[in-house]
């Protein structure tokens, strides 16, 4: 009979012992079996969403698609619309960046042109050693900015565009439908499930 909850004995794996178990010398992620391990808890990731006010619709879409992660207490997501009324917004935003585990940057040309984001939010997150995750919501020259060295979700694909080929086989882009964007957001959520809780 296999010992299903025997802990791994290598030091590199032992650091993640709360997220893994061994069965027949194979290491498994506990999150793959969370339905069968009801008493298991996974540390909640605090997410700070950085975005331009022009892209608020994309921010709202992202938060709606994160509902399953939020309901499972895997993530909490904060954006500037949740600032305390009458509080010091600058101080509170910096505090939220300091406390977050992951900063999501919803990148567009308006994002790149927002001074507070590019001169305060992003540098602070980088300085604090936060995981910075670019999500490209509209086409722009983001790879030649301070964010260009970070891996974006969907391998840097643009959420708002859908790529297809014309009759000649030449690629062309068009604005994605709501359903196509929903598929992109679903892929973002799947990518978070696969990578954010390692």
Angle at 63 between CA 60 and CA 69, to 5 degrees: 170
Structural domain boundaries of the chain? Answer: 1-42, 44-195
Of the candidate ranges 108-112, 157-161, 187-191, the one whose mean pLDDT is the lowest: 157-161
- pLDDT above 90 for 167: no
Q: Are 16 and 28 in contact (CB under 8 A)?
A: no
- pLDDT, one tens digit per residue, over 49-58 is 999 999 999 9
What residues form DSSP beta bridges with 136?
A: 107, 158
Residue by residue, DSSP assigns 80-99 as GGGPPTTS-HHHHHHHHHHH
CA distance 194 to 30: 12
CATH entry, 44-195, from 3.40.50.10140, 3.10.20.30, 3.40.50.300, 3.20.20.10:
3.40.50.10140
Of the candidate ranges 28-42, 91-105, 108-122, the one whose mean pLDDT is the lowest: 28-42
Q: What is the pLDDT of residue 30?
A: 62
């Amino acid at each position: 009979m296999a010992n299903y909850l025997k802990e791994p004995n290598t030091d590199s794996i032992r650091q993640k012992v709360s997220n893994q178990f061994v069965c027949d010398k194979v290491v498994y992620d506990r999150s793959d079996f969370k339905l069968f391990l009801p008493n298991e808890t996974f540390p909640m990731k605090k997410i700070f969403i950085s975005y331009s006010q022009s892209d608020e619709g994309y921010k709202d879409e992202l938060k709606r698609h994160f509902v399953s992660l939020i309901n499972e207490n895997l993530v909490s997501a904060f954006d500037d619309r949740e600032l305390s009324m009458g509080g010091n917004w600058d101080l509170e935003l910096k505090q939220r960046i300091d406390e977050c585990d992951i900063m999501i940057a919803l990148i567009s040309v308006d994002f790149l042109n927002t001074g507070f984001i590019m001169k305060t939010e992003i540098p602070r997150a980088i300085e604090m050693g936060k995981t910075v995750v670019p999500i490209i919501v509209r086409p722009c020259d983001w790879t030649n900015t301070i964010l260009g060295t970070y891996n974006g979700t969907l391998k840097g694909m643009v959420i708002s565009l859908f790529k297809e080929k014309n009759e000649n086989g030449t690629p062309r882009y068009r604005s994605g439908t709501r359903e196509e964007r929903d598929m992109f957001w679903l892929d973002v959520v799947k990518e978070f499930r696969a990578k954010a809780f390692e």
